[in-house]
A and B are shown apart, each in its own frame.
Chain A
Amino acid sequence: MSVPSQLEAVHHLTHGNSVYAAAFSTDGRQLATGSLDNTIKLWDVVTGEHVGTLKGHGDGVTFVAYLPNQRLISAGLDRAIKVWNLETSVAEASFSGHQNYLTCAAIDRVGVRATSGSFDNSVRVWDVTTTAQTAEFTGHTAAVQAVAITSDGKCVASGGNDQTIRLWDVESREASHTLSGHARAVEGLAFSPDDRELVSVSADGHLRFWSRDGAPVADLATTSGSLKSVGFAPSGEWLITGGTDGTLRIWDTAQRREALAVPAHRNTIYGVAIHPAGTHIATAGFDRSIHVWRVAR
């Protein structure tokens, strides 16, 4: 699919407090959003109807993702990772290990291996099936604000307030590379769908491309002031970023250029998500709202 040239706002959804995370279901019919109001809300993508609320976290929800078999995984500032049965709205599993706020998480393509980052400066890897912690990576010297994991679950990337990005080999449980370049905290990370590239966004307002082995590829500046969130389109041809200026930006990954900038929120965009078919975008903001956008080309 080509890079979007236009966005149409189709739904304006709200939480009682700031919204930190959003994810589309694998079939694209449902959207999940996580909020500082400690809940996860489920929405019908077509109608925008609120179809359910998951309650159980004791603090803000920082990550949501759909798993196979009608399940959903979430992570929260209460340090807990939870696996929910969406048919019963009950948390089937809850596990934790971080010693401070759990700020970010990611899941591999098949929904088996998850990773999380924390204010305790650590990065952890989890087996979602058994809920066991399979690795703990230490090395960051300040809070971890962003993590990403390759689709095969073999490589984890992490970044945070120490301004570095670290690549970790999950199998050997060792750091493979430390990437420097951002001048302020690393706020968002995402691997391309083919796992060949990593992108990072930072409070320095820059979007950087890196090769899988950590070599710098491109450095793109914005006028956003500070970038907070990033996500790849399933095709890998474009990606989106959100920043403290509330602007949603679409980037052409092949051309390495900004393709579209849309004023979207009145406050920082903490979470972005792209529909599995690339037809819709969801943005989650500190302004307590979620916008769902239809992509036009």
Chain B
Amino acid sequence: MSRKTLPSSKFCDGISRRTMLQIGGLALGGLGLPDLLRAEAAAGKKSHKAVIMVFLSGGPPHQDMVDLKPDAPVEIRGEFQPIATNVPGIEICEHLPRLAQRTDRLSIIRSLVGSEGRHAAFQCMTGRSVLNQPAGGWPALGAAVSKLQGPVRDGTPPFVSLSPRMRNAPWGDPGQSGFAGQAHAPFAPNAEAAQFTLNGLSVAGLNNRKALLNSIDRLQHDASRSGALEGLGKQYQTAFDILTSSQLMDALDVEQEPPEVLARYGRCASENAGYGDAGPLRNEYLLAARRLVEAGARVVTLAYGRWDWHGRPHGTNFENARDHFPVFDQGLTALLDDLEERGLDRDVSVVVWGEFGRTPVINAHGGRDHWPQVGCAMLAGGGMRHGQVIGSTNRLGEYPMDRPVHFQEVFATLYHHLGIDSTHTTLTDRSGRPQFLVDPMYPPLPEVL
């Protein structure tokens, strides 16, 4: 991303000039205020295919979540019991009762393989390894889709990441643009300075929107007089366009939802979960994702909670699970119900996963460590065939028994849902070489098509 440092200055809202310009530089090359206004004036919203990706930062424990091993030895099986779901023969964790009643709308992958074992969002965002990248780097799903399909409607970027800035930065990676080009980087409002967070927008920023706009006007006037914006290019200009676009801002402002909708998702702590080095466990992000899709986003990604549960003294795997699972259960259930009730469940695919699974053996501190050998994922929506488990692990949850599913197969499935044939579509990297979006050896999952 091209960044130019301007003299430090703050608006009365506490938003720095630099922050605003960075936001503009993130994503919206080619968009201008007239486009935004045209989009806002457009009556009716035509549905489009979209993906919401929920990244469980740190790697969720597959054997405590959707692949319980009650017959394993005590040092492996853990504290939780499986419960029946509304799909005969499928059981999941007792602390996910709402999802258990919606398993007919889920495809549970119990045999996710191919993790490179890196503590990062990169593989979940791109499907690829961080090693040996082609010139320019692999684009995230959203960046590739932005490049191939462009915006649904002007004024809303096709790729939005709600992942917040984190102390452990690789977890908060919003998804790089790679060789798709900087113009296709995500609009990532939570990844920037602390003042410009989703929470800040709904509470501090938007409540004082008029003052903010006045400040922008003042800055524009000052900048024009001083010539500070000259030569900064259209991307910087569009920073102002974004900030003055009510369409995008409204999508981010979940407080506009009726109280019953907010209650359905649940109000969650804004503080970072667990060690404090990841993001918070906020179901408002899930609601904002739905709103962004409705506003025209094609791909919305978000990091959710902290799932790297090595054990005490920061709580055992099971204490953290009892903390996260009920909130996750409520939030994902609300999203699935919401999408269905709004008629979006065929158009919007939801994928939930982390970078790897957890060790079968519980360690001395009540935790489970990293286990790239196998993990889990959940797919929902997208008009796919659900109510099934794909793959299985052995009795101890150590490795796949059948139907190993690679990360890239999930990506192929998501591209397929978006109308992109990933086995034949290429983008050109910075060296001029065509690169497949997904290695052609990985087709979409036939089980869900």
Contact = CB atoms under 8 A, between A and B. Distances in A.
Contacts of A161: 364-365
Contacts of A16: 269-271
A119 B313 contact: yes
Contacts of A25: none
B364 A17 contact: no
Contacts of B316: 268
B200 to A, nearest CB: 16
B276 A38 contact: yes
A205 B272 CA distance: 31
Interface residues of A, number: 24
A142 B364 contact: yes
B414 interface: no
B271 A37 contact: yes
Contacts of A287: 322-323
A143 B314 CA distance: 14
B274 to A, nearest CB: 8
A77 interface: yes
A266 B313 contact: no
Given A37-B276, A38-B276, A161-B364, A244 B271 contact: no
A225 B74 CA distance: 13
Contact of A60 (B313, B319, B323, B364): B313
A266 B322 contact: yes
* Contact residues of A: prevailing secondary structure: loop
Given A37-B271, A288-B269, A101 B313 contact: yes
Q: Which of A38, A60, A62 has the most C-beta atoms of chain B within 10 angstroms of its own C-beta?
A: A60
A149 to B, nearest CB: 20
A18 B323 contact: yes
B319 A268 contact: yes
B313 A103 contact: yes
B323 A267 contact: yes
Nearest to B320: A286
Contacts of B315: 18, 36, 268, 286
Interface residues of B, number: 21
Interface in B244-290: 269-276
Contacts of A244: 79, 318-319
B80 to A, nearest CB: 12
Contacts of B365: 143, 161
Contacts of A119: 313
A36 B319 contact: no
Q: Which of B79, B269, B270, B315 has the most C-beta atoms of chain A within 10 angstroms of its own C-beta?
A: B315
A266 B321 CA distance: 12
Interface string A3-20: 000000000000011100
A143 B270 CA distance: 32
Given A16-B271, A17-B271, A38-B276, A267 B313 contact: no
Nearest to A286: B319
Interface in A241-297: 244, 266-268, 286-288
Contacts of B272: 17
A77 B313 contact: yes
B273 A17 contact: yes
Interface string B47-84: 00000000000000000000000000000000100000
Interface in B284-334: 312-316, 318-319, 322-323, 326
Contacts of A267: 319, 322-323
Contacts of A288: 269, 323
Contacts of B276: 17, 36-38
Interface string A111-146: 000000001000000000000000000000011010
A288 B322 CA distance: 12
A228 to B, nearest CB: 10
Given A266-B322, A267-B319, A286-B323, A60 B314 contact: yes
Contacts of B275: 36
A62 B312 CA distance: 12
Interface of A: 16-18, 36-38, 60, 62, 77, 101, 103, 119, 142-143, 145, 161, 225, 244, 266-268, 286-288
23 contacts: A16-B269, A16-B270, A16-B271, A17-B273, A18-B319, A38-B276, A60-B314, A77-B313, A103-B313, A142-B364, A145-B312, A161-B364, A225-B79, A244-B79, A244-B319, A267-B319, A267-B323, A268-B315, A268-B316, A268-B319, A286-B315, A287-B322, A288-B323
Given A17-B272, A268-B316, 13 more contacts: A16-B271, A17-B273, A18-B315, A18-B323, A38-B276, A60-B313, A62-B313, A161-B365, A225-B79, A266-B326, A268-B319, A286-B323, A288-B323
